[in-house]
Amino acid sequence: MLQEMTQDILIKNGRVIDPATNLDEVLDVLVSNGKIADISPGIEAHKDMEVIDAPGCIVTPGLVDCHVHLRESGAEAKAEAEERKDAQGGGKAKETIRSGTRAAAQGGFTTVICEPNTSPPIDSCERVEGLQRRIADSSLVNVYIKAAMTLGMQGEEVTDIKRLSGHSTVKALSEDGNPVVDERLMDEICRLAAENGLLLSCHSEDSAFSLSQSKASKSSASKPKKGGRLGFSPGQEFHNEANFIARDMALAGARNAPIHISHVSLRESLELIRRAKKSGRAAVTCEATPHHLLLDSDFRCPDGSPAIVNPPLRDKDDGEALRAALKEGLIDAIASDHAPHGEEDKKAGAPGFIGLETTLGLVLTRLVQPGIISLMDAVRMMSTAPSAIFRLGSGSLRKGAPADVSIIDTGREWTVDVGDLESLSKNSPFEGWRLRGRAVAAIVGGRIVMRDGELL
């Protein structure tokens, strides 16, 4: 996606890990004209090459975070200046394309996929095009888009999915923080997604909004289907994740629409996904976040406050089930759900954490080093798998592939200090955590965008 001039880059003596080709070997990697030109031992350096010596580091396909909030929308031109001003000002520290992609590069990510829950939502081709202009102007890494399933993300009227699918940067449909409540509406979305080749990126974090919708629709339906328009009886807030997952997988399977489940958090959800994958009735993938994998409902932030996030942190048993599913390979991808908020908004109860700059270190320290997953598994879940799921055409270092490359020093020790992070927001539950493993370079489309902690 980045269009600036590329350079010839030679990465020497790194341990190359590429799940797409099952490669794990110390080799050199040559980048030329924005592509992987060669990968072999002893490639000779020439005077015009930029040489990165990487002994003791791993060299991987560029990391992909498939669940990120960047806060800037594709608003109409007349609103852009005011929206930019609001994003930067007032002490609210909302994320921008520029700050979010700087955080991504610093965290070793070369590609992010952003959610549509901006203000206004990304629910039309005009807003997609506006967002594409902003990305071209200020992004440091590749940015792809999830478009909203319904207009205004209100769960009432389907967006123009056929037109949206014509944009190469639109890779999926999402309602972000709320599932679509109306079963008939969700079925129509599944049909249109299948017909137009778009992935359903479903959220099952049933909020007060979705439950109020479900109760209203059930009470107003004169002749509801069995189980009501929702398809099941709603219960307590944030306790319907498994129900929504079961319903959406069934609808997607009936329409032959691929479906990706965001931030799975419950044991029951994992069992449903396991059954669906074994049955083969639907093309199902799923992701988990570092905070759901590593924290539980007893966790408190450094200031002693409870950690507020959607879905909420679950019981210890759920976390154990998630880690077991990760080891089993049931969970396909690890995604940060990078959700930046200003200090005032967070104190007022805004849910979510930043994660672009901490995810890699957390995965290496708390999942790879204890042996829960291997380095190959980690690279697969953070690059190859999300690239394949969202059809990005990256996620490999094979010859001729796009030159998106991450270089990681797995032995580098560092302490999370939110004051040093590139994100405009500082709402991390991992403040003060001692981690081992950090990205030391990121190459995007043949351009070095981060090297030794410096953004270029």
The H or E element containing residue 28 is: strand 23-32
E strands present in 33-182: 35-40, 50-53, 58-61, 63-68, 109-114, 142-148, 170-174
Cα radius of gyration rounded to whole Å, the chain: 21
The H or E element containing residue 118 is: none
Coil vs helix vs strand at 99:
helix
248 is catalytic: no
Catalytic residue among 337, 377, 404, 409: 337
Q: 75: which 2 tokens?
A: 């608003």
Coil vs helix vs strand at 405:
strand
* Cα gap 134→444, rounded to integer Å: 18
- What length does the chain have? 456
The CA–CA distances, whole Å, from 32 to 15, 29, 139, 327, 388 equal 20, 10, 22, 36, 24
* Cα gap 185→170, rounded to integer Å: 21
Coil vs helix vs strand at 434:
strand
Specify whether the CB–CB gap between 61 and 20 falls below 8 A: yes
Specify whether the CB–CB gap between 202 and 259 falls below 8 A: yes
Q: 25: which 2 tokens?
A: 């070997």
Helix axes 267-279, 316-328, angle to 10 degrees: 30
Q: Mind telling me the catalytic residues?
A: 337
